[in-house]
Amino acid sequence: MPRRHLVVILALAAILGMSPSGRAAAQAPVQTQPIDPYGQEITLPVKTIVYASGTGTWDNAFDSLVESFKTVRAYLAKAGLQATGPAMTIYTSIDDTGFNFQAAIPVAEPPKTPPPSSDLAVGTSPEGKALKFVHRGSFESTVSTYDAISHFLEEKQLDSKDLLIEEYTTDLLTTPEDKLVINIFVPIN
């Protein structure tokens, strides 16, 4: 397994409280702007979402997410539904080889008929107390941001839930990779 994937796994696992080994090695400074929240406590509101559940490996993480979002967007267009907020990935489990996720897009109300595909579902986004962080740069460079988040949680002795949320302020499908802006939410107990 390439080292960068191992570092991502360790950083994500540490955030989710799954790592007995403690901290992952720092990779590079985290790109932020003075206006970016860093560990800002917020309350996530519940949102109705249409999502595609999936699994991915660390070698194909970005491609897995992009394909899932294409599927959700195609369904929304066919059903005549409009997104009411940014797309988000809800990571529901993470291990050393990959992850389970929901590629979700919020909508105003549930569709009148359920999605025809078993790959799609309607539900609600996670709600409650969370910490907000911002990542700027490529998807692959989130390693540094997740490492910094892991250190922050450890320093503050905060207990996070077994869940992570990435909200794409910029369009994951069309934004140049080095220009992505991703809000990362870490639900806390």
The 3-state secondary structure of the chain, one letter per residue: CCHHHHHHHHHHHHHCCCCCCCCCCCCCCCCCCCCCCEEEEEEECCCEEEEEEEEEEHHHHHHHHHHHHHHHHHHHHHHCCCECCCCEEEEEEECCCEEEEEEEEEECCCCCCCCCCCCEEEEECCCEEEEEEEEECCCCCHHHHHHHHHHHHHHHCCCECCCEEEEECCCCCCCCHHHCEEEEEEEEC
- Please state, rounded to an integer, the average pLDDT across all residues of the chain: 85
pLDDT tens per residue, range 151-181:
999 999 999 998 999 999 999 999 998 999 9
Q: Tell me the CB-side half-sphere exposure of residue 89, using CA atoms within 13 A.
A: 27
Percent of the chain with pLDDT over 90: 68
pLDDT tens per residue, range 22-42:
333 344 444 556 668 899 999
Residue among 129, 188, 126 nearest 159 (CA):
188
Percent of the chain with pLDDT over 70: 81
pLDDT of res. 58: 84
This model's pTM is above 0.95: no
Q: Kindly state the tokens that stand for 183.
A: 């809000």
pLDDT tier, 81 (very low <50, low <70, confident <90, very high otherwise): very high
pLDDT tier, 118 (very low <50, low <70, confident <90, very high otherwise): confident
pLDDT tops 70 at residue 86: yes
How many residues are listed for the chain in this entry?
A: 189
Q: What are phi and psi of 78, to 5 degrees?
A: -65, -35
Calpha distance 12→90 (Å, rounded) = 13
pLDDT tops 70 at residue 126: yes
pLDDT tier, 113 (very low <50, low <70, confident <90, very high otherwise): confident
Q: What are phi and psi of 11, to 5 degrees?
A: -65, -45
Mean pLDDT of 66-95: 95
Domains and CATH numbers, the chain: 3-187 (3.20.80.10)
Calpha distance 93→106 (Å, rounded) = 21
Q: Are 185 and 131 in contact (CB under 8 A)?
A: yes
**Stronger pLDDT, 1 or 123, i.e. the higher one:** 123
User: What does the buried/exposed string (b/e) look like for 62-92 if buried means 16 or more CB atoms within 10 Å of the residue's CB?
Assistant: eebbeebbebbbebbeebebeeeebbbbbbe
pLDDT of res. 34: 60
